[in-house]
Chains A and B, each alone.
Chain A
Amino acid sequence: QQQVKQSPQSLIVQKGGISIINCAYENTAFDYFPWYQQFPGKGPALLIAIRPDVSEKKEGRFTISFNKSAKQFSLHIMDSQPGDSATYFCAASTTGTASKLTFGTGTRLQVTL
Chain B
Amino acid sequence: SQELEQSPQSLIVQEGKNLTINCTSSKTLYGLYWYKQKYGEGLIFLMMLQKGGEEKSHEKITAKLDEKKQQSSLHITASQPSHAGIYLCGAALGRAQKLVFGQGTRLTINP
The answer to whether A binds B is no
A residues contacting B by CB (< 8 A) are none
B residues contacting A by CB (< 8 A) are none
